[in-house]
Structure 1
Amino acid sequence: MSAVDEILQQIPLSQLAAKLGTDEQTAGAAARQAIPALLGGLHANAQDPAGAASLEGALGQHSSALVDGGVDLDQVDEGEGRKIVGNIFGGHTDGVAQTLGGTLGGGSQSDLVQRLLPILAPIVLSYLAKQMGGGAGGGLLGSVLGGLTGGAAGGGGGVADVLGGLLGGGQPGQGAGGGGVTDLLGGLLGGGRR
């Protein structure tokens, strides 16, 4: 099962749809696009050693409690989520939301994606923290998630390789549910996926 599917299984779509003011199908489709984008953004940031160190620090501060036994979206701190999204995408957040919103059909859904990203960002970090088992350090993160994804390919080491593995190990057409979306965002994010 892909990381995207594992994360989606933890999220109650009816609660997510109610928070977003949309139907479950739209909420699920948007989440299926946004999760790989968040992972892709983390991967792009982790290509830089300072970005990788920052991510490892953030993972050390996130508990897996948010995803243990399923997510209660009332427990998600959207203010923290906005900070995480800002750290991941920086000044490209609006462009990411427009790109993702355009893939959902039915006209632009960028406003929906803007509201969704801060909900999903803490969940994604909590999921990664759970995979680490609460440990810290790029080596442990790499070995735990590398095993989860069947090994990671690419350069940069540590967290960059882990996220590359979650995104499909750099092998075209074998992404973990991201594929086209993360490819679309690759140029926008300035690295990582092409």
Structure 2
Amino acid sequence: MNITDLITGGIGSKAISLVAKTLNIDESKAKWVVAAAVPLMIAALNYNSKKSKEKEEGINKALEKHNGGIFDQIGNLFGNGPSEDDNKIVNHMFGSNTEVVKDNLAAKTGLSADKIGGALAILAPIVMGYLGKQKQQESSSGGIGDILGSVLGGGQSNSSAEGGILGSILGSVLGGGGSYQSSSQGDLGGLADLAGEFFNKGNDNSKKGFILDSLAGMFGR
């Protein structure tokens, strides 16, 4: 199991169709939003889990409630749109960055912030369900960081090496094209670093937009 399944695999395809149908938007735009937003969600969860033991435990408990059962009914979800609980998941993920995420995704897609908010609310429980299912299947006693790492690490198959495409992108974001070495000591590696840079307050909207394009582009969107 890895992030590619959430974006371009079976689950991703269903999520894209669900976003497009529920929000009445073009499937091509739904694909772009999914490819950019899902890595941001996982990077945000990783960041939150490292804030404190309490935050980490809170995420672990939330994942226990989201055990993957959502995938048994994914085609029939959100008949009346996402619920307030789904919006709360988004706010828990992104915190004070919620509006920043919405505004930047809206600017890149031409969709309204409300439509983007709806897309995020659809994706959030799907991402949590996927991670919860992964947590159940983990045979090791590793923590949330190990689970997120195993999922996010899958995205690196789209780059030639950690110092390749991802390194070039991150070098551009972090230092105007300078070289970048991805940290890979069992943690989330290059894709997480790229997604995490979106939340760097030192990056303006232009760089944030570049990061979103890069994330989406990694999955052919």
TM-score by length of 2: 0.62
Name the counterpart of 2:18: 15
Give the alignment partner of residue 57 of structure 1, picking from 61, 66, 76: 61
1:152-192 superposed Cα distances (whole Å, 9 cap, x missing partner): 846xxxxxx7xx52xxx1xxxx317x83x54223338xxxx
Residue 2 of structure 1 and its aligned partner are, at CA, apart by: 4.7
Residue 52 of structure 1 and its aligned partner are, at CA, apart by: 1.1
1:101-149 superposed Cα distances (whole Å, 9 cap, x missing partner): 2233xx3543321111111111001000111126799725555555563
Flag the 1:117–1:84 CA change in 2: closer, same or farther, 3 A. same
1:69-111 superposed Cα distances (whole Å, 9 cap, x missing partner): x83251696322111111112233111111222233xx35433
SS in 1 for 2:18: helix
The correspondence of residues 36-185 of structure 1 with structure 2, limited to 5 A, is 36-49=39-52, 50-67=54-71, 71-72=74-75, 74=77, 78-104=83-109, 107=110, 109-133=112-136, 139=142, 141-142=144-145, 146=149, 149=153, 153=184, 165=188, 169=189, 174-175=190-191, 179=194, 181-185=195-199
AA paired with 2:6? Answer: I
Q: Percent identity?
A: 26
Name the counterpart of 1:157: none
Residue 39 of structure 1 and its aligned partner are, at CA, apart by: 1.0
SS in 1 for 2:74: coil
Counterpart contact for 1:56–1:136, Cα < 8 Å: no
Counterpart contact for 2:17–2:27, Cα < 8 Å: yes
Q: After TM superposition, what 4+ stretches of structure 1 lie above 4 angstroms from structure 2?
A: 134-138, 140-148
Identify unmatched segments of 5+ residues in structure 2.
155-182, 203-210, 212-221
Q: Distance in 1 between matches of 2:43 and 2:129?
A: 16
Counterpart contact for 1:81–1:122, Cα < 8 Å: yes
Q: Distance in 1 between matches of 2:118 and 2:149?
A: 31
Counterpart contact for 2:138–2:147, Cα < 8 Å: no
Identify unmatched segments of 5+ residues in structure 1.
155-160, 189-193
Aligned length, in residue pairs: 167
Q: Distance in 2 between matches of 1:2 and 1:103?
A: 26
Q: Which has the larger radius of gyration?
A: 2
